[in-house]
Structure 1
């Protein structure tokens, strides 16, 4: 167990149980919102580094990890954004920074644009697919097939077929926790990548914001960057040239170099 991991806990917020892991405990608060099939524990290696300077809260998004799940919940973007607003209010952390990866970045933007009080946003390679746009490069069966295997019980060797470049420890965590990702929640989020146009959210961000682009991710293209700059000229854009969409997994040092001091300014 990491020395910077203080504890895991649950809080009732926005009408559901939200589970989180807290790292560090000192410095400015940061809420880390993972992506579509990443329970909080899988971001521990990033939170440990952030905890050197920040009070870090890593969320289990609804339908994942130890947070509320099941067929009766709304898994749309607005509901997940309301969870983040409710979470920050329930814990009384003031105006935290948000660091969201992929789906988590979309959640962060929507939360900031719907009444949440947040100091700044680090948006890590958010899907920019949407109506009339090119599709998200990953395919739904990649998620669904791996979740179903995890529900039955999958080992590290089986997980390598889905994440061949990951380290042994990263594969172990994914094999252990992927079964907690509720398939309908994942399907809804994936479909919303194509139904919910996120570009208007860039235009209305008031907080200092950074967009981090994976050089080998195929998620954000140069024309997307140009459109985002046109919508919000104040947004900072950084790149991690040698990383795919799962940036910290591919290049952890590159991720932190691109992030720089953004969260602590």
Structure 2
């Protein structure tokens, strides 16, 4: 799929430059959903497949070098949630985590993948909760990072954090979001990755994503998850307080929890490589076959 010698995911974090330069680009792979939306996906690596579900208003760039870490042992499937990156909005106007979960299934089906591990980050973790109960026979192991159960059972974020999400299209909102994701020292040393957590969708789509995440109700779903589950969280996450990791693990049978002290919301990058190694070890303990 990639040019010889390019290595895994050569277009991360700047994959929007690939192909024709239009969004969505007709020269790359898309899965078509029930309402006709074309959902972009790509993949690389060998081994048990792992589907990566991005966070609210983010596209697959957000995974950065983590995708390459996992591709050392797995076939890693990247996708852009509808309305972000190179995926279309579709005709469905009422966005929900259930709708996004059905989109994820369409991506797996388009690639002929019967079962895959699933790694969801933030809102992607909410989508993964739905996916694991919607199609349990198609899910291997489940990784839920920096996410919560939603509803009144979730330990809420501050109003300042909500305001950052609502105003993310403004310079002040983007600056606030960066501070919620990463410590200043990490930003200074990894400036090239900060853009990866910049929303890539329109203001209309940002509102739809915000509503979908806010309206998620996973509390009653969690005990129905049968997949082996790993819950990851940053100990200093103010966007999704870390108490939510323990709330989720207390509801999912036999779930494991790993808290990375000092990391904020972007635990998948800020706590790397330890976070990547934790996921790789967990998947190795729970092979698809």
Say yes or no: TM over 0.5.
yes
Pick from 104, 110, 125 the counterpart of residue 146 of structure 2.
125
Aligned residue number for residue 189 of structure 1: 209
Shift of 1:59: 1.0
Do the aligned partners of 1:6 and 1:23 also contact (CA within 8 Å) in 2? Answer: no
Shift in Å at residue 194 of structure 1?
3.9
Where do 4+ consecutive residues of structure 1 move more than 6 Å? none
Q: Report the CA distance between 1:101 and its aligned residue.
A: 0.3
- Residue in structure 1 matching 2:164, options 142, 162, 166: 142
Structure 1: gaps of 5 or more residues: 151-157
Pairing partner for 1:234 from 240, 244, 254: 254
1:45 Cα deviation (Å)?
1.4
Report if aligned partners of 1:131, 1:195 keep a CA contact under 8 Å in 2. Answer: no
Work out whether 1:3 is the aligned partner of 2:7.
yes
The separation in 2 between residues aligned to 1:72 and 1:94, in whole angstroms, is 26
User: Runs of 5+ in structure 2 lacking a partner?
Assistant: 12-27
Inter-partner Cα distance in structure 2 for 1:121 and 1:250:
21
Which digits, 9 at most, give the CA deviation of each residue in 1:148-168, with x for residues without a partner? Answer: 559xxxxxxx95564253322
Q: Deviations over 1:28-75 (max 9, x none)?
A: 101000101321123231111111001001110011111012675331
Counterpart for residue 208 of structure 1 = 228
Partner Cα distance (1:89, 1:72) in 2: 20
* 1:191 to partner: Cα distance: 3.4
CA contact (8 A) 1:27 1:53 kept: yes
Contact 2:236 2:242 in 1 (8 A): no
**What is the number of residues matched between the two proteins?**
253
Deviates further, 104-113 or 162-171: 162-171
